[in-house]
Amino acid sequence: MITTTGLTKVYRDRSRGRDVVALDGVDLHVREGEVYGVIGQSGAGKSSLIRCVNLLERPTSGTVTVDGLDLTALGGGRGPRAGQRLRAARSRIGMVFQHFNLLSSRTVRDNVELPLEILGVQGRERTRKALELLDLVGLADKAGSYPSQLSGGQKQRVGIARALAGDPKVLLSDEATSALDPETTRSILQLLRDLNRELGLTVLLITHEMDVVKQICDSAALMERGRIVESGTLDDLLATPGSELATALFPVSGEASGDDRTVVDITFHGDTAAQPVISQLSRTYNIDISILGAAMDTVGGKQVGRMRIELPGRFEDNVVPIGFLREQGLQVDVAGRPAAGSAAAESQLVKEGAK
């Protein structure tokens, strides 16, 4: 539904007289009907990415395709028609902002009517549509209020209603819940999830909070210095050895392996989450297992999580129990050992240990 290829954005920083590379070849692929989260530290390029997706910001190079339409090609020509085509395409992309961006002199209803006015929707039909949208976001009774009379959560609901005015297929959200308290955040995320399901809306959201990703995202990408360094469905990420996103989603504490102990991170997802593997492991190999930390949660209705356990003895003494865990379909990472590269050596050791 949203695809970017080789998306690059370079800003000219006039004060320092040098260029800032905000996006450095971003290939993003958001499937129709999913909620996709982009997470990253301040300055990673998240806002630049979302602003390039709806061409609020013109990319320096690369392409942006939304619902089969190449937006970068649309606005490329000169003259009023090129601009018109881009505006028409953009009206099918809703945008929600961190600070709501409501007009304080207009009532709630008039704020939602504004984009309809721009789209040329007239009179009664415009009012009917605005009230319908306010009903959809649970604010039917606030139509005559002014933004200053609303709570933060209610303001964001107006922002969402306004974003839906053009019957968009795609909703972009830049930190929509960052200015809200945790409970209001949950209710706004739930609203986005409901809209995603009921209207088949594809949602691309930017956040710096892992909890947001955990609560509503089907897929996620991690941005660092203008690049996407990891991406995939949450399930795939959890199943990827050494995934930074998976580790951040389910952080577990406890020290890494030492000379006389092996510390192992186990990722549970899907069917494996329900199995009593730890007690099986302990019984089968007659070893004492300490649980150092655990983080379990429900993601997309499925139980997933991570557990950090300690086995007595060095890694080499534990290849068989570790092999046992992997045979149960679990993702197992040995803490303190590099994830990639060592995998082959590890599996060799496991094979030898099994002899």
Contact residues: ligand ATP, CB under 6 A: 11, 13, 20, 22, 40, 42-48, 208
Instruction: Find which of ligand ATP, Mg ion, none residue 13 binds, CB within 5 to 8 Å per kind.
Output: ligand ATP
- How many helices (H) and strands (E) would you count in the chain? 13, 14
Residue 166 · residue 184 · CB < 8 Å: no
Complex with ligand ATP: residue 40 or 166, whichever CB lies closer = 40
Is 318 one of the binding residues for Mg ion (CB under 5 A)? no
Residue 187 · residue 139 · CB < 8 Å: no
Both tokens of residue 203? 């949602």
Among 250, 237, 265, CA closest to 37: 237
Nearest approach, Cβ of residue 62 and Mg ion (Å): 19
Nearest approach, Cβ of residue 156 and Mg ion (Å): 16
Backbone CA torsion sign across 157, 159, 162, 164: negative
Instruction: Tell me how many residues contact Mg ion (CB under 5 A).
Output: 1
Angle at 97 between CA 188 and CA 127, to 5 degrees: 80
Complex with ligand ATP: residue 50 or 350, whichever CB lies closer = 50
Nearest approach, Cβ of residue 20 and ligand ATP (Å): 4
CA distance 186 to 244: 24
Instruction: Find which of ligand ATP, Mg ion, none residue 146 binds, CB within 5 to 8 Å per kind.
Output: none
DSSP label at residue 322: H
Complex with ligand ATP: residue 85 or 208, whichever CB lies closer = 208
Nearest approach, Cβ of residue 223 and ligand ATP (Å): 7
Which of the residues 243 through 272 are near Mg ion (CB under 5 A)? none
Is 173 one of the binding residues for Mg ion (CB under 5 A)? no
Backbone CA torsion sign across 100, 106, 109, 115: negative
Complex with Mg ion: residue 150 or 188, whichever CB lies closer = 188
Cα 24 from chain centroid (whole Å): 19
Instruction: Find which of ligand ATP, Mg ion, none residue 40 binds, CB within 5 to 8 Å per kind.
Output: ligand ATP
DSSP, collapsed to helix, strand or coil, labels residue 64 as strand
CA distance 54 to 235: 28
Instruction: Find which of Mg ion, ligand ATP, none residue 11 binds, CB within 5 to 8 Å per kind.
Output: ligand ATP
Nearest approach, Cβ of residue 159 and ligand ATP (Å): 17
Nearest approach, Cβ of residue 45 and ligand ATP (Å): 4
Nearest approach, Cβ of residue 46 and Mg ion (Å): 5
Instruction: Find which of ligand ATP, Mg ion, none residue 154 binds, CB within 5 to 8 Å per kind.
Output: none
Nearest approach, Cβ of residue 248 and ligand ATP (Å): 15
**DSSP alpha helix (H) spans, the chain:** 46-53, 71-74, 80-90, 108-118, 123-136, 152-163, 182-199, 210-216, 234-238, 244-249, 277-285, 319-327, 342-354
Q: Mask 25-64, x = binds Mg ion (CB under 5 A)?
A: ----------------------x-----------------
Give every CB contact of residue 81 below 8 A, 6+ residues apart in sequence: none
Residue nearest Mg ion, CB atom distance: 47
Complex with Mg ion: residue 97 or 146, whichever CB lies closer = 97
Q: For binding to Mg ion (CB under 5 A), which residues are involved?
A: 47
